[in-house]
Amino acid sequence: MPDLEDEAAQHTSALGPLIGLTREDIFGAVAVLLRETASDPARLMRHSQAMGSEMVKIMTGQSELAPHPKDRRFMDPAWQYNPFMRAGAQYYLAVQKGMAEWLDELELDELERDRARFISNIIIDSIAPTNTLAGNPTAQKRAIDSGGLSLIKGLKNAYTDMTENKGMVSQVDKRPFELGRNIATSPGAVVHRTEMFELVHYAPSTDKVHEVPALTIPPQINKMYINDLSPEKSVVKYLVDNGIQTFVISWKNPSPEQGSWDMADYVRSCREAMEVTAAITGSDKVNVSAGCSGGQTAAMLASKMAADGDNLLGALTLMVCVLHPKQNDIEAGSLISENGLALARRRADKAGVIKGDDLARGFAWLRPNDLIWNYVVNNYLLGEDPPAFDVLYWNADATNLSASLMGDFLTIYETLAFTKKGEVAMLDHKVDLSKVKSDLFILGGVTDHITPWRATYRSTQLFGSKDVTYVLSQSGHMQAILNPPTNPKAKYFVQKKKGKLPATAEKWIEGAEEVAGSWWPFWMEWLQARSGDLVDAPKEVGSKEYPASDPAPGLYVREAC
């Protein structure tokens, strides 16, 4: 079970250019494959003969095909010692190998080849023998050992998913979790509420606090309590325990009637949250941290404030966030097209919002081995419950995305707005990060498949900041952030010598050193140095002007899609 938890946690969903991916783009990639298949019958015949030769070797026991030693699907000893199972695995591997060799010979440009390879991998993964009871020796043994009870439990799990999870296999057992009881438990209260957001002020846990508060801007399609999952891996608890006055925005889950909420509205809300935070703490600066799509929002906020001569922003932390995307950053990026982006916009405008569960469903089918077939085997074939894992509970608790905000994210992606100094107009100003002078801390994750670390590193070259720090955490997307000092496997990379960062990620990694332990203490030292003097901690959260109301994590996080 820990393996499944760890694997799944690396592939939690997040907003990116995938929101512009449409079924037409996918069908188009399949059409290219079919077109090229028909264009050269001789080539098809040659590969068919090669495949036939391999099949003969398999039937006569002469094939040397073997699964990769790290392929967890074929770890059961039966794949090695049972001749029928070994032959079944080899048939699958022969198809996989034949498809790869065939794709290498197709007359495709680089983009078409990437599309074809991505789609073919999804198809090949779906026909793996391990996805069926007949082709999964581990499931067969479980059925025998349990007297068939595992199969009954698997059928029950499948029925529950059909009736209660819209036909998608469950990735998490939600039953053990309850907000405010064993998840999102840090004390605090909502101190400000609007139609779009709640501002949660967390209670200090030290006698002294730093003057300058910290405000967190979460992604718009995920709930804010990722910052406060459990006491062991709570960014909020770590902040307050180190004397940082901590505030977190909690976004309202938009309904179709609120589909007009756009980037300008969200940035205004962030600015309003900063004003309230400053008013409560009496500070003339507010440090801001943000991740994923919240980081894009924070960058737009910083650009707008710089253009307006607004000096309220202090230091800025951006975690696992891409501001300079490239189409080949992610595997599915090759499927995105201009036509697809336009279609995605029109469909979103018609619906008002993109439903959170639809976003999750689409994302899962782009990484089916990790986010679908793993759970089909675990939940249905083995009859196990999905893991009760807090990160996965949070990931399944998605929110809707307003059509207008989606359109703005697509505009940022299409125009590369953050990379053009004053060329792209948004939010009544020309976007220009070179005018942002705030000290900057940027985090990437080594195995992040959603916001690859080399893409996050490009952000270091966009700002006008003289003080830029880049840290590379050893894990994947959200696990890169949730990497507390209690994690014995934690490590990170940071530049050996202080000074200006190199222009490219490749140059940076050459001069980086590996540090054992969590990056949190390193960040905290950086943040405290930019958080002012120590003063007496307030006796309660909020203020007379902004009194405490509902306890943390507030009401908006409890709203389902």
Q: How far apart are CA 393 and CA 170, in angstroms?
A: 10
Residue recorded with tokens 């069926």: 132
Residue 476: closest CA among 367, 378, 384: 367
Angle, CA of 163, 166 and 167, to the nearest 5°:
85
Residue 451: closest CA among 415, 468, 416, 475: 475
| Catalytic residue chosen out of the listed positions 270, 292, 321, 561 | 292
Q: How many CB atoms lie within 10 A of CB 307?
A: 17
Encode 143-196 in three state secondary structure. HHHCCCHHHHHHHHHHHHHHHHCCCCCCCCCCCCCCECCCECCCCEEEEEECCC
Q: How many CB atoms lie within 10 A of CB 354?
A: 21
- 235: its two tokens: 């960014």
Length, in residues, of the chain: 561
Torsion region of 288: left, alpha or beta (phi above 0 gives left; psi -120 to 50 gives alpha): beta
Q: How far apart are CA 101 and CA 103, in angstroms?
A: 5
- 253: its two tokens: 């889950």
Q: How far apart are CA 266 and CA 263, in angstroms?
A: 5
**Contacting residues for 136 by C-beta, under 8 A, at least 6 apart:** 129, 130, 377, 381
Concerning whether 270 is annotated as a catalytic residue, the answer is no
Per DSSP, the three-state class of 519 is coil
Q: How far apart are CA 460 and CA 191, in angstroms?
A: 34
- 179: its two tokens: 């907000």
Torsion region of 499: left, alpha or beta (phi above 0 gives left; psi -120 to 50 gives alpha): left
Q: How many CA atoms lie within 13 A of 457 on its CB side?
A: 23
Residues known to be catalytic = 292
